[in-house]
Every structure is written in C-alpha cells, then in structure tokens.
C-alpha cells in the first residue's frame, strides 16, 4: 500500500511541475491542491483499513473497512468544501485534472502492491 501512496504523491508532484510549466505558480498551486484533495482521503483510508491484520481480527477488519470508507467520503467532501470556500483554485482545469489523474493511479494498484510469491 505504501508504494501506491508514494506513486500518488509522485503523480501530484509531477502534475504540479506541469502546472508550473504551463501556467506558473497559480497552475502549480491548483494542481497540487487537486492532487492533495485526492491523496489525503486515500491515505486516511489506508491508515484505517490496515490497522488490523490476521484472521482473529476479521470482525475488526470488516468494521474498519466500512468506517474507513465512510471517513474517506466525508473527508473528500470536507476537503472539496474547504478548497472552494477558503482557497478557490485559480485554474480549475489543473485542479480537476490533478484530482482525476491522482485517483486513476489506483488502476496501477495491482502492479504496485503485488507481493512476490514464495512458492
């Protein structure tokens, strides 16, 4: 899971650099804000879900999964509200583009999280 989160942070950094290249500081700020709005709820989800491991904690794992998903949804809504009220993005294209691309990094999840086989 750490590799997936690190890949998301790398994408946020890359998109911020592209925003700076094409639109200067306002583009970089919009891209980094959009990427962080996508990254922070995912990091919260990973932290909450992977707190318990093992068969004896199966009930706690299931409860943690549902709580983590609800928290991720609430945090996403709160971050969008906070961004659009406190610091509206100067370039919505970079903001939403970085948000969507950061979310799509999950498609790379099977390759990033893949564990080596010991058999």
HSE-up of 60 (CA within 13 Å, CB side)? 9
Q: Helices H, strands E: what count in the chain?
A: 4, 0
- Under 8 Å between Cβ of 7 and 113: no
Tens digit of each residue's pLDDT (9 = 90 or more) over 58-112: 787 788 889 999 999 999 999 999 999 988 888 899 999 999 999 998 887 777 6
- Using the predicted structure, report yes or no on whether residue 119 has a pLDDT greater than 80: no
- Under 8 Å between Cβ of 103 and 41: no
For the chain, the domains span 2-109
Residue in the block written with tokens 């928290």: 71
* High-pLDDT (> 70) share of the chain, %: 87
At residue 9's C-alpha, the angle toward residues 15 and 88, to 5°, is: 55
């Amino acid at each position: 899971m750490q590799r997936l989160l690190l890949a998301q942070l790398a994408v946020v950094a890359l998109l911020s650099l592209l925003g700076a290249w094409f639109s200067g500081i306002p583009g970089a700020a919009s891209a980094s804000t959009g990427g962080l709005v996508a990254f922070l709820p995912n990091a919260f989800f990973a932290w909450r879900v992977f707190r318990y491991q093992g068969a004896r904690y199966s009930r706690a794992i299931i409860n943690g999964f549902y709580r983590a998903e609800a928290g991720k949804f609430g945090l996403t809504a709160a971050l969008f509200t906070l961004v659009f009220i406190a610091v509206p993005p100067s370039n919505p294209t970079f903001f939403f583009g970085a948000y969507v691309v950061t979310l799509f990094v999950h498609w790379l999840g099977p390759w990033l999280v893949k564990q080596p086989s010991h058999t």
